Amino acid sequence: MIKKALLLAADSKRLERIIGRSRLTKPLVSRYVAGTTLDEAVAATRELNAKGIDVSLDLLGETVSDLRESADATAAYVDTMHALATGSPDSTVSVKLSQLGIGLDPVVCVGHLKQLLDVGAESGISVEVDMEHSSVGPQTLEAFRSQLPSHPNTRVAIQAAMRRTPEDLCSFSDVKPRIRLVKGAFLETIDKAIVDPAEVTAQYQHLAGWALQNLPDPAFGTHDDSCVELVKATAARLGISKRDFEFQMLYGVRRELQEQLAADGYRVRVYVPFGSRWYPYLMRRMAERPANLMLFLRSVVGD
């Protein structure tokens, strides 16, 4: 119930205007967001790199309302990739196609994506495509698929909760894509997604085992101990090296686990969001952990 309310609130432009301006939320925002500027994101990247952890930088912002915004976001990503290429060459960037304009003009959006992939090929910084709400899911997968022949290193997020995911994965039998397996963070209806948390975890674990056996260099985007342990045990049983897959976690979430995995020799990548459009991202993080809600409400209304 609380989770649903928070996910609904994540899409409210009105609440974004009110809460986004409140300075009281700053401490909470800074737990999950590296800063508003590229310089701050690069500083967070350096700190994580010093601990043996790679990053994927995410420029906050989604569902643009005009194509100029999507061009601006693309240009900002180009700057980000150039900044990473010099100081942190094992980094990636994570892009949301709604930010690149998929809801306005899919052709323009794919053009932006291609531009980023071309810059990535020159600079050595790979691109990961986030998976958003099911209203743009199929187009996102199509856009990703269209770029695979020229940019096979691109990674796409796959949501375990979505009922169509096994079918989507089978549709890639000709090309084995690099994926980031996640549970799924969006509010979906029961016909489209598994909603029971235990069932989502079981499906995640099933797909994680399948990905380890069938896909190149899979990434496991999770903070769930049971999923992390399942991945570690399955890889060990199959004789897969700790360097042939990676764990991915969000900035500010389970930092000790991130560092422990890296110290144990696993590849770890932290998803580092930056920028001023933090509101929907933060609301989804609250929805994942309603225990944070009181903290959030206190920060909005003040103590």
Q: Residue 57 belongs to what H/E stretch? A: strand 54-59
State the Cα–Cα distance between residues 130 and 143, nearest whole angstrom: 12
Question: Chain centroid to CA 69: how far?
Answer: 20
Under the criterion CB under 6 A, does residue 11 sit at the interface with ligand FAD? no
Is 45 annotated as belonging to a binding site? no
Residue from 33, 258, 285, 299 touching ligand FAD (CB under 6 A): that is 285
Under the criterion CB under 6 A, does residue 176 sit at the interface with ligand FAD? no
Exposure string over 210-233, b if 16+ CB within 10 A, otherwise e: ebbeebeebbbbbbbeebbebbbe
Q: Which of 180, 267, 269, 277 is catalytic?
A: 180
State the Cα–Cα distance between residues 250 and 270, nearest whole angstrom: 5
Is 39 designated active site?
no
Residue from 63, 74, 92, 248 touching ligand FAD (CB under 6 A): that is 248
Under the criterion CB under 6 A, does residue 178 sit at the interface with ligand FAD? no
Residue with smaller CB distance to ligand FAD, 174 or 186: 186
DSSP codes joined into one string, 140-162: HHHHHHHHTTT-TT-EEEEETTB
Question: Chain centroid to CA 172: how far?
Answer: 21
State the Cα–Cα distance between residues 183 and 136, nearest whole angstrom: 17
Minimum CB distance to ligand FAD, residue 239 (Å)? 25
Q: How far is CA 29 from CA 8, 25, 185, 250, 288, in A?
A: 19, 6, 18, 13, 15
CA neighbor of 7 nearest in space, from 188, 159, 136: 188
Is 130 designated active site?
yes
Residue from 61, 101, 137, 184 touching ligand FAD (CB under 6 A): that is 184
Under the criterion CB under 6 A, does residue 288 sit at the interface with ligand FAD? yes
Residue from 182, 207, 215, 262 touching ligand FAD (CB under 6 A): that is 182
Q: Which of 130, 168, 267, 277 is catalytic?
A: 130
Under the criterion CB under 6 A, does residue 100 sit at the interface with ligand FAD? no
Residue from 93, 211, 249, 261 touching ligand FAD (CB under 6 A): that is 249
Q: Residue 273 belongs to what H/E stretch? A: strand 267-274
Q: How many residues bind ligand FAD (CB under 6 A)?
A: 25
Q: Which residues does the annotation place in the binding site?
A: 96, 131, 159, 183-185, 222-223, 284-285
Among all residues, which ones are annotated catalytic? 130, 180
Binding footprint of ligand FAD on the chain (CB under 6 A): 130-131, 157, 159, 180, 182-186, 221-224, 227, 248-250, 253-254, 271, 285, 288-289, 292
